[in-house]
Amino acid sequence: MLIEGCEIVATMDDGGTEIAGGSILVEDGRISWVGGGRPPGSTQDVERISGNGCVAVPGLVNTHHHLYQTMTRVRAQDRGLFDWLVELYPVWAGLNEEWVRAGARVGLAELALSGCSTSTDHHYVFPSRGGDLLAAEVDAAREIGLRFHPCRGSMDLGVSAGGLPPDEIVETTDDALARTEEAIERFHDPAPGSMLRVGVAPCSPFSVTERLMRESADLARRFGVRLHTHIAETLDEERHCLERFGRRPLEMLEEWGWLGSDVWLAHCVQLDEKDVRRIAETSTGAAWCPTSNLRLGSGIAPARALLDAGARVGLGVDGSASNDSGDLLAEARQAMLVSRVRDGAAALSAREALQVATRGGAACLGREDVGSLEVGKRADIALFPVDGLAFAGADVDPVAGLVFARPGRVRHLVVDGAAVVRDGHLANADETEIAREGHAVARRIAEGAGG
């Protein structure tokens, strides 16, 4: 495949190379050449994609999501995290395969159309009669064509034992660990260029036991898979940790063996200076979810301080019950703007926001084979149109324009060398049918009939 004649190719390599009029040659799912002019050798028989009027960037990487929540958007509209969860848990108790499949198809389609080529998911609600929920979302990712890192989440601390979730949606510790091990054995592909990797992800300090946290870390390390959880999201959570464990959230995680280069943590909003330093020193990743943190009134993560300390920082849209949108380029814009409210107008540049959304996310997920447009990397490439109305007038710097101007739909998205979005439409699935299914399932949930 030859992607030719882009307005600009923004490679996001170490030097921040940007090539006006650049082209990209893809062979066997990998980038084999990037440059201006024509690639070496014959390109007579290759599939061609015009980059005319487009900025090419690495496919964006989404580091935190709960795809099932896509079916419960716009609920608990004016609540903070704990009250929001308490209102939503009983609804989520009705989760089943149909619900998860519809939510994953809608959520992943939205992400693809916003230029996202790799997404994680954090699924932690497994009602006893819910069915094969992880398989349902893995199928959806294969259908759309995205690189997928589903996390087998878990909760084992119900309300009767001092947790926040109702007892009927938590598992026993033994069941959670056994099902997580099964998920790794069934789905995880560690090979370079993998399209499917599984993570281990107990949910949050107020829904898990210390034993589940410690043994999940052991399990993940035995299999060489990554660890993920929610931490330092709100002050309520910090108070809960101080009361229950006598430690602040990050201190507690460290004590449980949960800081390290194989861990990435969602939110990291309520951090002090020492927490920031420990995250950086231990090469732990931070999945920054600015829109969700604003929506729930949680706060603004110290992303500038984390980046300055040398931490790995990626972006997450978070679940669609607390973002209500799954647009990852819009999240890069949100990240840039909200950083400026916290730390001043120079806090985060447009290019830094794009770096976080691409290379930063890849680093959180432990992927050295994606996140930049360089020879040898997998061919995950997003082509955003900059020739339309929203960019008329942004011609002086179309790369920055991607973040400053109104984010729009990607024109083409290539994942592992295959088209996932072509001319603004899903290449492998029917957007109209996915939306119709999503509306139908969401209506059944609203009527109280589960999925």
**Cα gap 185→56, rounded to integer Å:** 36
CA 321 to chain CA centroid, Å, is 15
CB of 346 vs Zn ion, minimal distance in Å: 29
Q: Which is nearer to Zn ion, 118 or 292 (CB)?
A: 292
Cβ-based nearer residue to Zn ion, 238 or 318? 318
**In the complex with Zn ion, which residue's Cβ is closer, 318 or 416?**
318
Minimum gap (Å) between residue 363 Cβ and Zn ion? 19
Alpha-helical runs (H) found in 309-360: 328-343, 350-355
What's the min distance (Å) between Cβ of 30 and Zn ion? 32
Cβ closest to Zn ion, residue 171 vs residue 318: 318
318: closest CA among 42, 171, 107? Answer: 107
In the block, tokens 């949930």 appear at 445
Of 34 and 303, the one with the shorter C-beta distance to Zn ion is 303
Closest to Zn ion by CB, 23 vs 62, is: 62
Q: Which is nearer to Zn ion, 34 or 67 (CB)?
A: 67
* CB 155, min distance to Zn ion, A: 13
Least CB distance to Zn ion at residue 230 (A): 5
Query: Smaller CB distance to Zn ion: residue 110 or 318?
Result: 318
User: Distance between CA atoms of 295 and 308, rounded to whole angstroms?
Assistant: 26
CA distance 6 to 24: 9
Could you say which DSSP state residue 321 is in?
T
CB of 318 to Zn ion, least distance (A): 5
Query: At its nearest, how many Å lie between Zn ion and the CB of residue 233?
Result: 8
Nearer to Zn ion, 145 or 249 (CB): 249
CA 158 to mean position of chain CA atoms: 27
- For the bound state, the minimum distance from the C-beta of residue 288 to Zn ion, rounded and expressed in Å, comes to 12
The dihedral built from the CA positions of residue 370, 371, 377 and 382, taken in this order, carries a sign that is positive
Q: What string marks each residue from 260 to 299 as x (binds Zn ion by CB under 5 A) or -?
A: ----------------------------------------
Q: Cβ(312)–Cβ(286) under 8 Å?
A: yes
What is the footprint of Zn ion within residues 301-320 (CB under 5 A)? 318
In this structure, the number of other CB atoms found within 10 A of the CB of residue 297 comes to 12
Report how many residues bind Zn ion under the rule CB under 5 A.
1
Q: H/E element holding 285?
A: strand 285-288
Buried b (16+ CB within 10 A) or exposed e, 348-373: bebbbbbbbbbbbbbbbbbbebbbbb
Minimum distance from residue 265 beta carbon to Zn ion (Å): 11
Name which of 18 and 318 has its Cβ closer to Zn ion.
318
- C-beta of 25 vs 253, nearer to Zn ion: 253
How near is the Cβ of 217 to Zn ion at its closest, in Å? 19
Contact present, 21 and 78 (Cβ < 8 Å): no
Question: What length is written for the chain?
Answer: 451
Helix spans in 93-172 (H): 97-113, 133-144
Residue 427 φ/ψ, nearest 5 degrees: -85, -25
Q: How would you class 34 by CB atoms within 10 Å of its CB: exposed for 0-12, middle for 13-18, buried for 19 or more?
A: buried
CA distance 288 to 274: 18
β-strand pairing of 199-202 with 147-154: parallel
Q: Which residues, 317 to 376, sit near Zn ion by CB under 5 A?
A: 318
Q: Which of residues 40-59 bind Zn ion (CB under 5 A)?
A: none
Closest residue by Cα to residue 115 from 405, 364, 381: 381
Minimum distance from CB of 22 to Zn ion (Å)? 36
Q: Which residues are at the interface with Zn ion (CB under 5 A)? A: 318
